[in-house]
Amino acid sequence: MFSTLALVLAEGFWHDPSARTLAYAGFILLVGIFLALDLGVFHRHAHAISMKEAALWSAFWISLGLAFAVFIYFAYERHWLGLGLETAMYNRAAASDPTAKTIIIGTVTGLEAAKQYLAGYVVEKSLAMDNIFVIALVFSYFAVPARYQHRVLFWGILGALIMRGVLIGLGAKLVMSYTWILIVFGVFLLLTSAKMAFFHSEPDPGNNRVVRLVRRLYPVVTFYDGQKFFTRRTTPPSYTTDEHGHLVTLPPEPGSLGRKAITPLFLALIMVEITDLIFAVDSIPAIFAITPDPFIVFTSNIFAILGLRSLYFCLAAAIARFRFLKPALILILAYVGVKLLLLAFPPYIDDVAGWLGQSVDPVRGIKIDTSISLIVVVGLLGGAIVASALVKPKIKPASGE
């Protein structure tokens, strides 16, 4: 015990790569504190989120996410908790030496780490926009009252944090062990962008296989029982308001309790979780196009989705006005897909030629600088927003005119 304490107090420990686990633990603790304050203090009582409240919370989460880039800069520049030391990075030498490894272990500077974090944050934030369309559809299908939507999104985001942490951990191990997985990621992103561009299909929450399975395995009521995901009521509850104006559920009438059942609020939560899992499969490969560093991938991803709830309440009603946002998201996915392929595929051309019985000179990968990626992504998003505001949709003439 005393030897461990001495190691922790030793100055060198805080600059040792083995201390990096504390960076993850500290970040997860920080996120846990924010979420506890969010649900337990600021949103303890169910209420409809106003546009002003949502805008303030969105500004808070975005400011927090951008401010974390400052921490990233100093942490990697000064190697706090070993950050930036013995870190996975894309090999710059591969741009001139076709035989060099695509991913190496080296030292990442504070400026490069901050640029990678910001690029990853913007990419993940932009891809989260598409998630809002589907969440709005889910809430509409299940007729979730506005005052309960925040609770669904809170627990949905909490589940998303766990799922994305697991997926990022698996993705990082795959990328480090099998570099060719980057080619699979690149092709997948291109196929996803093509699907978004040419195939338009809206999900049907009621016909989702998981939702249908839950309905078969567990009884489901058709009414809401306040913010509860499960209820024993057999009839819809009655409500009143307390002296503070908060909605209060009245006690059940005698004989109105039965077997525990699922409320539609829980079905909506299941669909939100499924939706985020699907989008995580799309977005996590995209951020690996920016960096293979698991800490930057994890932190930028988590900060991007932490503000998704507030962003939903800001944009859910108005997002249809951003007509050019969808094409911008398609181009962003296509860009990061091409970026991965340019980096990862050329070194394998010699192997492919060998399989075909041909011989070619080794081909070097092309690494697009992080600054360029940041400019491209921000430019596409900004251009889409400006174009949506300036270019008015054409009004179709009424039939018969």
Interval 114-161: pLDDT, tens: 999 999 999 888 887 767 777 887 888 888 888 888 888 888 888 888
pLDDT value for 42: 64
Sign of the torsion angle spanned by Cα atoms 231, 237, 242, 247: positive
Q: Mean pLDDT over all residues of the chain?
A: 82
Residues of the chain where predicted confidence (pLDDT) is lower than 70:
1-15, 39-47, 130, 200-204, 206, 244, 255-256, 316-321, 350-362, 394-401
Between strands 103-106 and 239-241, the pairing is unpaired
Q: Give the distance, in angstroms, between the CA of residue 186 and the centroid of all CA atoms in the same chain.
A: 18
Beta bridge partners of 89: 104
In 10 A of CB 302, how many CB atoms? Answer: 23
pLDDT of residue 319: 62
Q: Which of helix, strand or coil describes residue 260? A: strand
User: How high is the pLDDT of residue 113?
Assistant: 96
The pLDDT score that the predictor gives to residue 41 is 62
- The closest of 221, 216, 218 to 231, measured between CA atoms, is 221
Q: What is the pLDDT of residue 229?
A: 92
Torsion region of 361: left, alpha or beta (phi above 0 gives left; psi -120 to 50 gives alpha): beta
What are the residues whose beta carbons fall under 8 Å from the beta carbon of 123, sequence distance 6 or more? 283, 286, 287, 290, 332, 336, 373, 377
Residue 118: per-residue pLDDT? 95
Residue 105: both structure tokens together: 């272990």
Q: State the DSSP string of 190-248.
A: HHHHHHHHH------GGG-HHHHHHHHHS-B-SS--TT-SEEEESS---EEE-TTS-EE
C-alpha closest to that of 302 among 16, 14, 29, 19: 29
309/53 Cα distance (integer angstroms): 12
Tell me the C-alpha distance between 211 and 116, whole Å.
38
Tell me, what DSSP letter sits at residue 256?
-
**Can you tell me the distance from the alpha carbon of 73 to that of 84, in angstroms, rounded to the nearest whole number?**
10
The per-residue pLDDT for 85 is 92
Radius of gyration of the chain (CA): 24
* Model pLDDT, residue 4: 47
